Structure formats: C-alpha cells, structure tokens
Chains A and B, each alone.
Chain A
C-alpha cells in the first residue's frame, strides 16, 4: 500500500479566508456542545487563548509540548515523501527514550561533556533500528508497514514497562532511576521547562526541508514518492533510498524520546508518550508534508492543547471535552480538503 503523495503536496495556495472560516465554524460547533452543560463558549475560548499565550510560562509550555510533535511529524513526513507510512513513531520514540536513559546512567563512565551528544546519537540510532525492521519487512517481503509499525509500538511499550518495573527501577516511583546530571539537556529559559531539544527540533525541520528541496537525495526521494516507476526507470536505487529514509525517520522520532528523557523527566516514566506519534501523523498531513509548515502546525496544535489545559483548570471542564473540541476542528479541516485542492 503506497501513499498517494502527489495530491498531498501539489496545491500550495491556501486561502486565508477559508482557514479563518474553519476556525470560526469549529468554534461555533463546539460552542453548541458547551452551552448545554452551562459553559459560556466565549469565556472558554478566551481561557484557551489565555492558557496558551497569557504568560511567559505558557508560551514556553507551548514550545515544550510542540517539540516531540515536531520531531514525530518530521518522521512521518520523511517516510511519506518516499511513499511509506510510518505509524510507528511512538514506538521509535520509546526506543530513543530507552537508549537515552540507558546511556544516561553513565555506567560506562563517559566524560561529562561527551554524555549528552552520546545519548542523542544513541537515541537516533535506536529509533532508526526500530524503524529499520518494518522497512526491511516492507521492502523485501511486501509486509504492510502500517501493521508492522503498529505492532512495534506495542512491543516498544512492553519493553519500556519491563525496564521501568524491573532492571532499571527507581525503587519507589513508576519510573526508572534518574539519569546523571551530565545528561540533562540545558534549559533555555531558567524557571521554565524549555530545553535545548526544541532547537534540535527546529534544526531538524530546517535540515529536512533543505535535504528534500536542494539535495540529490531529496530529489530522488520525492521522485520515488510521486512516481515510483519513473524513479526505477531512471535507475535510482529505490529500495536503498526508501530504507535509508525510513530508518532516518525512525531516528527523528528517537530524538523526540531523547528530548523527553534528557530534557523533561530526567528518567523514563510509565506513560511517557500520550500519543505523540499519532499526533505527529495528523500534523504531518495537515502541514501537507512540508517540514517548515509542520513546525507551524505543531506549534498551533501545541498552543491549542496547552491553552485547553488552562481552560480546563480555570473552568472545571473535563479533559475529554478538550479532545473532542480538537478532533472536531481537525475533522472540519479535513472536510474541506477536497474543495481546497480544486480551488
């Protein structure tokens, strides 16, 4: 099953009017849900804005939340651009986190400054390995990468749970023992949780965009995604390029895990990923597979999420309602897709 890349990336024009109209429509729709339970929708939306942008802390939290999503969406984009579905970025994130924590105990006695880069490399490699298997099975045996990556997600969580409860247990909390301070990512703004992995994510987006648009590898990759027969006819090493791309996609997701461990938790807790992988897929497609747009969409989604949390705390709305609102908004966007492409 190949992803139809062509239609997703060709149309670059997106009327601002339509975009604004969508947001208003979804606000109206969710307002209908809020009114019967006695909540003032305008007040609720104001709280979302306040929760997302109302303080330095809120702004940094937007960036913190966006960081892993940017990386997983880049992971999906890279794979999708050569016609493969990466539904396994969650599992690859976990493997990256496992590698990060494993090295982070510094049982090998690495010198201080070398630890953090070593952890990042290990996380990338672990994610890449976790993606390499589905890639091989797909390219060599035709096995659906949709299914294999989903299964690998479950497997990754199983391994992480085992490590948290068993060999790497902290002894009391449902998390592993902490990593050594040398392995902490530097905080960009004291007093907040904004750490350097945000810069890694931005850099990754810039690099991916550059690779896709201005390198031979990127050109070949895009050709494979748009017209695989033409690529083969042109003599490109199709399978090798696809394999490399998918593995690198896994590596990107692994870096998301690295960021969460080295930057936020400083250990590997139970329930590390609340579905960053799947959110990344949504972001990737909403951004029409453009790495730079992915950063913007991820930031927007992060702001919505963080702001909704603030709204939930301020107004006592159950958290599940927030998911419903976000989903309705995205469904509305999806409902206009076809029209948009024709415009």
Chain B
C-alpha cells in the first residue's frame, strides 16, 4: 500500500510537471473514482441517475484540470459491495461512491479500514471521518408532484405505488399524498407498497388496484418496476408521474411529468467536493429543493394538457419550497400524511 502511494505520487509528479509545461491551468491531477450503484448504470432510473452525476462531475473537474477515470460495478449484493469498495480502495481509488441505501454498512466498514479513501454513501445515518452520506430529500419534489396530480385529477383521487416501506421511499410516497391534499383538501389518496424494485407485473396490479378505486393519476416510487405502472396507466387512459429521471420518453402518452431529485446534480456535487477535498467533516448532505435538488420535468407532449393557472401555481409552490417558506415534513409511516395538519404547511 505504501509502495502504491509512492508510485501514485511519482506518476502525479510526472503528469503534473508535463501539464504545467503544456497548460496554464497549473497542477493537473489524475484521479480514479469508482461507482457502485444498486442496479445497472443503464436502468433508466436510480442507478443511471447517479451515474449521470458521476459523469457530470468528471466533466466539471476536467475544466479545472483534474482528470477522472470512472469505473463501476453493477448489481451487487450488500456484501459484494463491501468487497468491491475495499478492492477499489486497495487499488488506490480516491473516491468510492456507493449509490444504494443497502450499502451503508459497506461504506462504514470500508471507511474504517481505508482512511485514505473517500467514501460517499446515499441515505445513511451519519457522516464520519472519511465517509459522507448524501440524502436527496425527495419529499419536496414529491409534494409538488402530488400537488400537480391533485389539480390534474378529474376523479378526485390519486395514488402512489412504491417499492418498499423504507424511510426515504416512504418520505416520497407520503410527500406525494400530502402534496395532493394541499392542492385539494378533499382529494382521496392511495398508496401501495409492492416489496420489490423490479417486479413490474406487481407494480402494474398495484396501479390497477388504485385505478379501479378511482385514482386517475399515479405517482411512481418504484425504480425500474415503474414500467408496470405505465402499462396500467396506458390501458386505462390515465396519467403517471415518474421519479428519479425523466421518463417521459418511455411512455410519451402517459408520463405527465417526472419528479427529478436531481440525483445527478447531488452526486456531481458530492464527487467534485470529494475529489477537491472540499467536503465538510461529519456533515450529512441532506439536500432538498432549497439546495437545488428537486425539479419537475414536464413531458413536452403532454404539457399542453396542463391549464396555465395550474402551471403557474406549481411554479409558485416550487419557489416557496425552494426559499424555505414551506417546509415539507419527512413522513416515515405510511398513511400518516392523511392526518397531517395542512395548516402546518402555510407559507411563513
């Protein structure tokens, strides 16, 4: 390990000297970064969003003279993720990004044994020494999605289909339901947990169950299984709202909008911060709309169906949340959003 560091230093020195001669940018770094997501980097959802962020960080850092190489490992179990993280650390990677909630232990354990490597872990309890956690506070943008859904609903009922009853996913689902109530206090909201990230068939039946009970806009908090939701929505002529990435091209006639958590932006900021050594010690990077995480990407084909007043109200709402006037709670218990006092959401 000591010899490796020496070699890296030598390489850096050589590269640095050469590039100083060649550019005016000053000292150029060669840095290796590893990305370990839940699924595959082209899954069109959570894992791909994170990968886009790492790539964006690469571009951003290249402008300031740092050259990153990105390597990734896909579809790992939590235990295999730890093996991978340790392996990357042994090989001298500067930053290892674990973009999956189940990899928290992997990050902390590897972080303890490899103090010279930075570990970034999503949705974890704490940041400690060389391990930082970043949390996209998706309840903010889910709230906005719920608001939009309630305004677009003709039947007076909307629903959300979620993967698991795990905190950060429940925040999304309940955030949506709360936002729907905010837009229409009389609205009925449903939630359905399918206990899977990839069982599209179950997602379809869950969505259908809500549609059969009257819901006509369905929010997806299910990762790749969202395909099933779009199938159900298409069959019944309903709208769906996607999560994590812009999925309007996947189902142009049904996906009304996508609740982007700007995961790419969050990951990009974390990676650039890590490589530049600018991350604050022991800080939990929980970022919501106030920090730029949370955007509603409208489907260009369907945006005409949104009445102009509604579009304006959505913009106003988003501005209020961004400025901190309205604070969206993180609700961890399914169904609690139905009891939440809407008065607590009045802009201050």
Give chain A's interface residues, CB within 8 Å of chain B. Answer: 51, 55, 57, 61, 64-65, 158, 161, 164-166, 169-175, 191, 193, 260, 264-267, 269-272, 274, 306, 309-310, 312-313, 316, 318-320
Contacts and interface: CB of A to CB of B under 8 A. Distances in A.
Interface string B128-169: 000000010000000000000000000000000000111110
B166 A61 contact: no
A166 B76 contact: no
Nearest to B82: A193
Q: Which of A51, A165, A173, A318 has its CB near the most chain B CB atoms (within 10 A)?
A: A173
Contact of A269 (B87, B102, B165): B102
Contacts of B252: none
B327 to A, nearest CB: 19
A306 B165 contact: no
30 contacts: A57-B87, A61-B83, A64-B79, A158-B195, A171-B125, A171-B332, A172-B125, A172-B167, A172-B168, A173-B104, A173-B125, A174-B102, A174-B164, A175-B102, A175-B104, A193-B109, A266-B105, A269-B78, A269-B102, A270-B164, A271-B77, A272-B78, A274-B79, A309-B73, A309-B83, A313-B34, A316-B71, A316-B72, A318-B40, A319-B75
B90 to A, nearest CB: 6
A171 B167 contact: yes
A319 B76 contact: yes
B195 A174 contact: no
Contacts of A158: 195
Contacts of B109: 193
A264 B80 CA distance: 11
A274 B74 contact: no
Interface in B99-127: 101-102, 104-105, 109, 113, 123-125
Nearest to A173: B104
A164 B101 CA distance: 13
B79 A265 contact: yes
Interface string B52-87: 000000000000000000011111111110111011
B46 interface: no
A32 B321 CA distance: 56
A64 B106 CA distance: 14
B88 interface: yes
Contacts of B124: 172-173
A310 B75 CA distance: 14
A30 to B, nearest CB: 19
A318 B43 CA distance: 13
A-B residue pairs, 9 tightest by C-beta: A165-B165, A274-B77, A174-B166, A173-B104, A174-B101, A319-B75, A174-B102, A269-B78, A172-B167
A312 B75 CA distance: 12
Interface of B: 34, 40, 71-80, 82-84, 86-88, 90, 101-102, 104-105, 109, 113, 123-125, 135, 164-168, 195, 332
A261 B327 CA distance: 38
A270 B195 CA distance: 10
A164 B83 contact: no
Nearest to B112: A191
Given A51-B87, A270-B164, A309-B84, 20 more contacts: A65-B79, A158-B195, A164-B166, A169-B167, A172-B101, A172-B125, A173-B101, A173-B123, A174-B102, A191-B113, A193-B109, A260-B79, A264-B82, A265-B79, A266-B105, A309-B73, A309-B80, A309-B87, A313-B71, A313-B88
Contacts of A175: 102, 104-105
Nearest to A264: B79
A166 B77 contact: no
A148 B77 CA distance: 26
B84 A165 contact: no
A313 B73 contact: yes
A227 B19 CA distance: 78
B128 to A, nearest CB: 14
A277 B124 CA distance: 29
A282 B79 CA distance: 21
B87 A310 contact: yes
Nearest to A275: B77
A170 B133 CA distance: 15
Contacts of A165: 164-166
Given A57-B90, A267-B105, A169 B166 contact: yes
Contacts of B72: 316
Contacts of A306: 83
Contact of A173 (B71, B84, B102): B102
Given A171-B332, A173-B101, A312 B73 contact: yes
A54 to B, nearest CB: 10
A310 B83 CA distance: 9
Contacts of B123: 172-173
Contacts of A272: 78
B318 to A, nearest CB: 26
Contact of B102 (A61, A193, A264, A271): A271
A55 B90 contact: yes
A319 B167 contact: no
A29 to B, nearest CB: 23
Contacts of A57: 86-87, 90
B87 A265 contact: no
A97 B124 CA distance: 22
Contact of A319 (B73, B83, B125, B168): B73
Contacts of B105: 175, 264-267, 269
